Amino acid sequence: MRIYPTELTPALRDALSIMLWDSAGIAEALRLEGHEIPQKAEDEQAHALHWCIGLVLEHGDNWREVGAKRLIAIAASETAKAEPENP
């Protein structure tokens, strides 16, 4: 089990500062990955922040890089699914 820090680290502050309009895109990507997230702004923000905090706890200062790579991989997977197969 991960332990939540008692001090507000720069990486944690960064993750907790994600704005509502940015969290919607993260939530949409997480839905594509199979997460069940209600279509309410507060739910989207909560899920996105939860996901980002998990990245901070696992990857520290590199959380944004790891998260961006994962979101890019989700988008690439969805793009590949949408492309017609070559005969």
Model's pTM, two decimal places? 0.85
Q: Is residue 3 part of a domain?
A: no
How many distinct structural domains can be found in the chain? 1
**CA 16, 3, 46, 60 torsion-angle sign:** positive
Could you tell me if residue 87 is inside a domain? no
pLDDT in 10s for each residue of the chain, 87 residues? 768 889 999 999 999 999 999 999 999 999 999 999 999 999 999 999 999 999 999 999 999 999 999 999 999 988 887 777 655
**CA 46 to CA 39: how far, in whole Å?**
12
Q: Identify whether 4 is part of a domain.
A: no
Alpha-carbon distances, residue 24 vs 28, 42, 51, 69, 86 (angstroms): 6, 9, 12, 17, 33
Q: Which domain range does residue 28 map to?
A: 10-79
Report if residue 17 sits inside a domain.
Answer: yes
Looking at the domain assignment, is residue 59 inside a domain?
yes
